[in-house]
Structure 1
Amino acid sequence: MNDEGGHDAAAVSIAGGEVLFPARYRCPHCGAAGFASQDAPRGVIEETTVVRRRVDAGSAGDVCLARVRTAGGVVVIARLDAALPVGTTVALFVDDRHRVLARAAA
């Protein structure tokens, strides 16, 4: 758990060694259900976009999204607090609403 109530660890399939983020119930590559925990992944922003209109969101405001490639090669779409430039290194975690979030790494 992190300080925001979410999870900040990746799962590593014990059988196949595949790194998964966010964690899954079963490894999509080998089907195994046994996982070990690994430090929260970091990645680099490859592309960004802004969602300006969302169905049933009312006037909730814009949402910044980024495609992030981790050092292990996993690519995730993550929500950003604010727009960040391509090439920025970010830390990834999953919040209590199961959203993948990215924040500029310290």
Structure 2
Amino acid sequence: MSETVLAIQRCNACGEAVFPARYRCPRCGAAQWSSEPTAGGAVEESTVVRHRVGAEGAGDVYLASVRTLAGPVVIARSETALCAGDAVALAIDDAMRVWARAR
């Protein structure tokens, strides 16, 4: 599985950081953005999905809300259970899924 570093958008006018990308800044309404990599963050909350409709026997899916170093919160998958406060690295895979990996 090939991965790239997660990039967030930062408004050129006011500096607001957002994820996912938006057309206009929610703070000032500007429409010019710069992209910056965010290598990681800290887990705020986590959960596990054990039963999914139509996915019998597919296994557990671990999810976490991660506050990035740049500020925005992203929802990321994980291969293992994570706990609040865990430092994680963030990446996006070929299927455009955000992944969190414990550091």
CA–CA distance in structure 1, aligned partners of residues 18 and 100 of structure 2: 16
CA drift at 1:18: 1.0
CA drift at 1:24: 3.2
The aligned counterpart of 1:77 is 75
RMSD: 2.3
Q: Is the 8 A contact 2:5 2:37 kept in 1?
A: no
CA drift at 1:50: 0.5
CA–CA distance in structure 1, aligned partners of residues 3 and 74 of structure 2: 20
Residue 78 of structure 2 aligns with an amino acid whose one-letter code is L
The ranges of structure 1 where at least 4 consecutive aligned residues each deviate by more than 6 angstroms after the TM superposition are: none
Q: Is the 8 A contact 1:11 1:20 kept in 2?
A: yes
CA drift at 1:41: 4.2
CA distance 1:44–1:7, shift in 2 (3 Å): closer
> How far does the alpha carbon of each residue in 1:26-68 deviate from its partner, in whole angstroms, 9 at most, with x for none?
3333333321121224211122110001122232110001121
The aligned counterpart of 2:51 is 53
TM-score of the superposition, structure 1-length normalised?
0.76
TM-score of the superposition, structure 2-length normalised?
0.78
CA drift at 1:86: 2.3
CA–CA distance in structure 2, aligned partners of residues 78 and 33 of structure 1: 26
CA drift at 1:5: 4.6
| Identical residues among aligned pairs (%) | 53
Kindly tell me the number of residue pairs found equivalent between the two proteins: 103
Unaligned 5+ runs, structure 2: none
The aligned counterpart of 1:22 is 20
